[in-house]
Structure 1
Amino acid sequence: MIQILDSEKEQVISVKIEGNITKKDIQKIHPLIHNIRNNGMKVRWYFELEDFTGYDLKGLWQDLKVDAAHFDDYGKMAMVGDKKWQELAAEATDFFTGSEVRFFEPHQKDQAKQWINN
């Protein structure tokens, strides 16, 4: 499930992710991407991963389609989590995309928010 959080900056999409991501979750995020791009800005992401277990099949497919369509529209990404695999995923995302991606532990949440908003 994706819960949309308040953001300080209009180009930042802040979300809390718990459990599984579904197609419906991705569909509620997609218009936010378009709103930011329509204002001529790159999309910045702030993710709080809490008990994130992955995707259902339709959610994964929908996310891959959205990311492929908006690959060049993404800027900085801050990932807050407490699992080693989440840190590795952040490193892989940083390596394979043009985005600057940083991983933060839960006690560094304020630092992550400050970084993504600057």
Structure 2
Amino acid sequence: MQEADRHGLSIGIQRTNDTVFLYLKATGKLTHRDYEIIVPMIDRALEAVTEPKVKALFDARELEGWELRAAWDDFKLGLKHGNQFSRAAIVGNQHWLRAASAVAGWFVSAEIELFDSPEQAVSWLEKPVSETGADPG
């Protein structure tokens, strides 16, 4: 029996006062169809955000990459919502994630950091902005 081709994005959204906490977990090689499903959810969750008040945790430990069209979808999503993020933590140790996070930094207004564990990432996300070295204004 052939092993199933598992791929996709899981999403969690929590609001605390004016801050939105977005959790994304990627599995396998992401497809255009994955983005067709998840983008409307992200759009609805972020439609009321008027300032960069979104903190995101992207768990990429099981991410194998993107199909070409899915990579384009990811790029468009970053352009559409990139200015709404204050911080984004990426969890994963794949060597190519460092380059991917640097490119994302060109299109997203958030501070972006890479972490080996979700616990480290959450700790960084929960710190007040002044403790991370970011400009609080």
Q: TM-score range by the shorter chain?
A: 0.7 to 0.9
Q: Is this contact kept in 2: 1:12–1:117, CA < 8 A? A: no
Separation in 2, partners of 1:93, 1:64: 8
In the superposition, the TM-score normalised over structure 2's length comes to: 0.67
Separation in 1, partners of 2:126, 2:44: 19
Cα gap change, 1:72 to 1:116, in 2 (>3 Å): same
Q: How many residues align?
A: 115
How far residue 30 of structure 1 moved from its aligned partner, in angstroms, is: 3.9
Q: Is this contact kept in 2: 1:37–1:73, CA < 8 A? A: no
Equivalent position of 2:25 in the other structure: 16
How far residue 41 of structure 1 moved from its aligned partner, in angstroms, is: 4.5
Amino acid at match of 1:71: G
Cα gap change, 1:89 to 1:39, in 2 (>3 Å): closer
Question: What are the ranges of 5 or more consecutive residues in structure 2 without an aligned counterpart?
Answer: 1-7, 128-137
The alignment's C-alpha RMSD in Å is 2.4
Amino acid at match of 1:104: F
Question: What are the ranges of 5 or more consecutive residues in structure 1 without an aligned counterpart?
Answer: none
In the superposition, the TM-score normalised over structure 1's length comes to: 0.76
Correspondent of 1:115 among 124, 127, 130: 124
Separation in 2, partners of 1:11, 1:102: 18
How far residue 81 of structure 1 moved from its aligned partner, in angstroms, is: 0.4
Secondary structure in structure 2 of the residue aligned to 1:60: helix
Residue 61 (structure 2) pairs with residue 54 (structure 1): no
Q: Counting helix residues as a fraction of each chain, which structure ranks higher?
A: 1
Separation in 1, partners of 2:33, 2:69: 9
Which is greater in Rg? 2
Separation in 2, partners of 1:113, 1:70: 21
